Structure 1
Amino acid sequence: MKTQPPETVFLKNLYATPADWQRDLFYSVVRAGHLKAGPEHRIQRETYPGHELILCLRGSGWLQVAGKKHMIGPGQMAWVNCHHPHVYGAMPNDPWEVYWVRAEGRSLDRLAQLLEIRSLPVLAGFDAAGAAAEFERSFQYLEGNRPCDAAHVNAAISAIIAMAFDARLSDPDLIRPDLPMPVQKALEKMRLYFHQSIRVVELAQLAGMSESHFSRQFKAAIGTSPIDWLRRERINQAKRRLIESDDPVKEIARQVGYADQFFFSKDFKRMTKLTPTQFRDEERQAG
């Protein structure tokens, strides 16, 4: 008599519906669990809310995104941006056992972009034992009813994301420039010449693009406009000068590229919630 293959078993199957304030403040987990797959295990979606983090405990599985198939083995984690078409499942001859969470959060798309998840969705060289402990911590607090449980789940997901960064960015074979070359050139110019008058049209010319095209590409890569980035760089430089020198605020404003002390002080307070003088006093007292 032929033996029937084992079926997929959910050893833990959790659901959560975060409150609006939890979604605003934290990474929220809406589904999670511990799954022991049968040979038939397969999930296919065109699009779905959230990002899935799948830690392979034993066995093996596969994931297909952007037309490419990736294998997943023990100790590896797959990151699936569910907003894009995806298919994944167990290898029939060695079905995987996994911990998984489906998380939501405003920055997850950007984080996935930084880690090049669309082209490299499988993280190897991963702290699997540490990650497993964080998955288990998220499971524990998902089953709780206290308001603080959402913060603990957020901490667990943040820790897993930190491990993902560590695994991806510490592997020299996988490190490639995250930024397009035109954006890198613009950043280099602004870092070196932040004290000079720099216009977006000059950066666009350096990049060999129209001003509108360059601005769109810069914002897509950095998340802010070139002028806003330059202002923040100037404020960062001003912070160091305020702490390390006794130069008057007007002189520091000039040193970092502001012709008008009023506009310098306005930008400084908008970004730090303190005036330049308040910042200098508080930092020196703290030091």
Structure 2
Amino acid sequence: MSNIVQDFGSLISKLNELTFSILLAGYKTFPPSWSKRGKKNLYHSLWFITKGTGDIVINGKKCKLSPGKLVVFTPGMTCDKKTNSSESLEFYFIRFTHAGAFEKKEQWHFINPEEISFPLQGVYTIKNSPGVAFLLEKIISLSKRRGAVIAFKKKILFQELLLMFIQDFHTQTISKDTKQVIEETIDYISHHYQRTITLTDLAKMAGLSNSHYSRLFKKYTGYSPIEYLTHLRIDLAKELLAHSDIRIKEVSQSVGYEDELYFSRIFKKFVGVSPTQFSNENKMANQ
């Protein structure tokens, strides 16, 4: 049975805190009736199946391999693999390493590879096989070349590949109608963030109860509706504070907060410093 990703917000957040390096990339074919048992994985790697069928047992859990299946291996994972007796199994593969490197509240954090786990593992189903294969072909092509620019391009393409996986998982769990409803309310938030916007307003616009709308919105974006609105307002406030000379009160009002003190508390909670400190530091940096 394939894994089903539900908590997209958590998955995206974890991936966003990682930096990657590709060690190997290529295309492999295993012949009919090929098998390997009790293999303990030493590296992070992924397979994307393009032709043939087979079976894989990961830590005791059996899954079918067929075109469109993504397999993510992590160190220490014990696997039994075998191909069908009548056909070869063909797949793209990438071996990679990762470490934690992310900024939070104006502070950088670094985590060694052995201290941070990769948030995907096991077997997944991919619907957008052509898109995934296209990116993998580009990565493999670059892997035959060397140089700093090539390494940088490979890193970008690998992140695009991971994003494509997430979008594919997401599409599989969100109906077209739900996507349209949520997108319409996101569009409304983007154009009317200066106004007072409540959960009830957004749910009514979507034609749903508050609780149902909140669940769908968080599933789609990774944030509750009000968290999404707050992040948008704070991001816009940061732009104003860094690149203009308007007063804190004017910034507060321009992003939808009438109460300057409340705005300052929210800003410090999300950014880690007060609006005044953020403004002073960023203006000095831009001089």
Secondary structure, aligned partner of 2:135? coil
Q: Deviation per CA, 1:35-85: give whole Å up to 9, x if none.
A: 752202489xxxxxxx972157xx943589xxx99637xxxxx52479xxx
Matched, 1:130 2:126: no
1:201-240 matches, cutoff 5 A: 201-240=200-239
| Cα distance in 2 between the residues matched to 1:256 and 1:128 | 44
Matched, 1:79 2:59: no
Matched, 1:53 2:15: no
Change beyond 3 A, Cα 1:275–1:36: same
1:239-258 matches, cutoff 5 A: 239-258=238-257
Q: Which has the higher contact order (CA 8 A, sep 6+)?
A: 2
Displacement after TM superposition at 1:263 (Å):
1.4
Q: Deviation per CA, 1:195-231: give whole Å up to 9, x if none.
A: 1000001100111100000000111111111111101
Change beyond 3 A, Cα 1:41–1:161: farther
Name segments (4+ residues, structure 1) moved above 2 Å.
25-28, 32-36, 40-43, 59-64, 68-72, 78-82, 87-106, 117-122, 126-134, 156-169, 176-179
Change beyond 3 A, Cα 1:37–1:157: farther
| Cα distance in 2 between the residues matched to 1:90 and 1:157 | 34
Q: Return the letter of the residue paired with 2:160.
A: A
Displacement after TM superposition at 1:88 (Å):
8.8
Change beyond 3 A, Cα 1:286–1:133: same
1:189-200 matches, cutoff 5 A: 189-200=188-199
1:148 maps to none
Change beyond 3 A, Cα 1:42–1:102: farther
2:179 maps to 180
| Cα distance in 2 between the residues matched to 1:157 and 1:88 | 31
2:260 maps to 261
Structure 2, unmatched stretches of 5+, are: 1-14, 37-43, 56-63, 74-80, 98-116, 144-153, 168-174
Query: Is the CA contact (8 Å cut-off) linking 1:194 and 1:257 kept in structure 2?
Result: yes
Superposed CA RMSD in Å reads: 4.7
Displacement after TM superposition at 1:252 (Å):
1.1
Displacement after TM superposition at 1:185 (Å):
1.3
Displacement after TM superposition at 1:119 (Å):
3.1
Residue among 149, 160, 163 paired with 1:162:
160
Change beyond 3 A, Cα 1:285–1:228: same
| Cα distance in 2 between the residues matched to 1:217 and 1:242 | 33
Residue among 110, 115, 127 paired with 1:119:
127
1:280 maps to 279
Change beyond 3 A, Cα 1:285–1:121: same
2:90 maps to 96
More strand by share: 2
Q: TM-score, normalised by structure 2?
A: 0.56
| Cα distance in 2 between the residues matched to 1:255 and 1:277 | 16
| Cα distance in 2 between the residues matched to 1:229 and 1:192 | 13
Change beyond 3 A, Cα 1:234–1:61: same
Q: How many residues are paired up? A: 212
Larger radius of gyration between Structure 1 and Structure 2: 1
Change beyond 3 A, Cα 1:120–1:208: same
1:39 maps to 32
Give the share of equivalent positions with the same residue, in percent. 24
| Cα distance in 1 between the residues matched to 2:166 and 2:273 | 37
Query: Is the CA contact (8 Å cut-off) linking 1:79 and 1:121 kept in structure 2?
Result: no
Query: Is the CA contact (8 Å cut-off) linking 2:193 and 2:256 kept in structure 1?
Result: yes
Change beyond 3 A, Cα 1:88–1:227: farther
Change beyond 3 A, Cα 1:101–1:262: same
Structure 1, unmatched stretches of 5+, are: 1-22, 44-50, 73-77, 135-155, 170-175
Q: Deviation per CA, 1:84-126: give whole Å up to 9, x if none.
A: xxx99569444436536699523x49xx8xxxx5433562212
